[in-house]
């Protein structure tokens, strides 16, 4: 103990200085550790705030492709008709005519109860038998009874006698009050269409259009095969070509064609979906139409285009 006291007294000044230096070093290390700890814990808190504040400043405005905005609507998009496998309806209804539009919601059909006059129905209208018209197709319509879809097709009698006219531009008749007192309600509908389009002077398809076409073909079958161009000339029809468009122009009125709904000046562009204009090749379409028992003709009248569909018995 005395030795320690003696050592302390001898080196007191040096020990005090050394102790002070150690304390200073420890204090500096503590300060540095504390500073590093604080900085490490403060940076994560401030970083998100800086990011959030800076995001609006650095975020670039989205680029808009004007061509993709379809400012004037979408052109040329025509939905493909969906095929529905529905059972035939058991309601006592008869399909007399269909009016197909490029807009399915604007299509309509003429339907009658057995032994009664036909009435015009648009999509969504209620039919006899507590059914509604769901959709219109070339050779049938779909009706809805509750949640069940049923099909109503042309009867054999109507299919072999009635000429159904389809206009894909705008000859679907507007909603109008239903009238009676005429022997043919379907004729009234067609007459109303003609008046709406300013075509009251143009002939309308008659019930014998299909029969007339078949009789003419059977009578002139050999001439159609041997001299198709001459046969067309006898009908008052001549081939025309305008640019890339071909067809046949009706130069003079003809009973066979006017009964089908054509008029002088009309241009036939296609038959049953096939472009026409070459008499030698187009003669084969006659036999195809007879086999299909229906001819669908694309017609250009002035600036309008429409389709005529004529069943052939």
Q: Please enumerate in sequence order all residues whose Cβ is within 8 A of that of 186, keeping only pairs 6 or more positions apart, or say none.
A: 96, 97, 110, 118, 162
Write down all domains in the chain, each with its CATH number in brackets.
Answer: 93-196 (2.30.30.830), 209-311 (2.30.42.10)
Token pair, residue 278, equals 């070459």
Report the half-sphere exposure of 86 (CA within 13 A, side-chain side). 22
Is the per-residue pLDDT at 77 higher than 70? no
Closest CA to 220 of 260, 279, 281, 228: 228
Which phi and psi angles does 151 have, rounded to 5°? -110, 135
Report the pLDDT value the prediction gives residue 132, as an integer from 0 to 100: 93
Whether the CB-CB separation of 104 and 136 falls below 8 Å is answered with yes
Q: Please identify which residue in the block is written with the tokens 């002088």.
A: 264
Report the pLDDT value the prediction gives residue 99, as an integer from 0 to 100: 73
What does the alpha-carbon distance between residue 288 and residue 284 come to, in Å, rounded to a whole number? 7
Is the per-residue pLDDT at 56 higher than 70? no
Closest CA to 299 of 268, 256, 271, 278: 268
Question: Which range (33-42, 104-113, 259-268) has the least confidence?
Answer: 33-42
How many angstroms from the chain centroid is the CA of residue 208? 34
Is the per-residue pLDDT at 183 higher than 50? no
pLDDT band of residue 264 (cuts 50, 70, 90) is: confident
pTM over 0.75: no
Token pair, residue 97, equals 């005519």
Report the pLDDT value the prediction gives residue 97, as an integer from 0 to 100: 76
Token pair, residue 81, equals 């008709």
Sheet hosting strand 119-122, strand order edge to edge = 93-99, 108-113, 119-122
Closest CA to 297 of 264, 250, 262: 262
Q: What is the mean pLDDT of the chain?
A: 72
Report the pLDDT value the prediction gives residue 167, as an integer from 0 to 100: 45
Closest CA to 217 of 158, 293, 148: 293
Mean pLDDT of 99-107: 74
What does the alpha-carbon distance between residue 247 and residue 207 come to, in Å, rounded to a whole number? 26
How many angstroms from the chain centroid is the CA of residue 157? 32
């Amino acid at each position: 103990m005395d030795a320690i006291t003696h050592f302390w007294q001898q080196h007191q000044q040096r020990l005090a200085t050394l102790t002070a230096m150690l304390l200073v070093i420890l204090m500096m290390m503590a300060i540095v550790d504390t500073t590093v700890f604080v900085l490490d814990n403060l940076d994560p808190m401030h970083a998100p705030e800086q990011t959030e504040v800076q995001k609006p400043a650095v975020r670039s405005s989205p680029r808009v492709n004007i061509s993709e905005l379809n400012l004037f609507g979408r052109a040329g998009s025509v939905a493909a008709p969906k095929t529905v496998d529905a059972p035939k309806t058991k309601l006592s209804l008869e399909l007399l005519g269909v009016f197909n539009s490029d807009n399915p919601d604007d299509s309509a059909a003429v339907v009658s109860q057995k032994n009664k006059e036909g009435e015009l129905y648009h999509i969504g209208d209620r039919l006899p038998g507590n059914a509604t018209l769901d959709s219109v197709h070339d050779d049938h319509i779909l009706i809805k009874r509750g949640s069940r879809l049923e099909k109503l097709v042309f009867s054999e009698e109507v299919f072999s006698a009635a000429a159904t006219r389809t206009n894909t531009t705008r000859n679907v008749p507007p909603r109008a009050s239903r009238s009676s007192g005429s022997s043919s309600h379907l004729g009234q509908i067609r007459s109303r269409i003609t008046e709406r389009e300013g075509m009251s002077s143009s002939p309308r398809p008659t019930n014998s259009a299909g029969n007339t076409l078949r009789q003419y073909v059977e009578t002139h079958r050999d001439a159609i095969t041997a001299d198709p161009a001459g046969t067309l000339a006898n009908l008052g029809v001549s081939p025309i070509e305008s640019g890339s468009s071909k067809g046949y122009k009706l130069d003079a009125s003809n009973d066979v064609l006017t009964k089908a709904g054509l008029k002088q000046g009309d241009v036939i562009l296609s038959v049953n979906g096939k472009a026409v204009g070459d008499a030698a090749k187009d003669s084969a379409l006659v036999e195809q139409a007879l086999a299909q028992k229906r001819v669908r003709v694309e017609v250009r009248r002035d600036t309008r285009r429409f389709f005529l569909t004529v069943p052939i018995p």
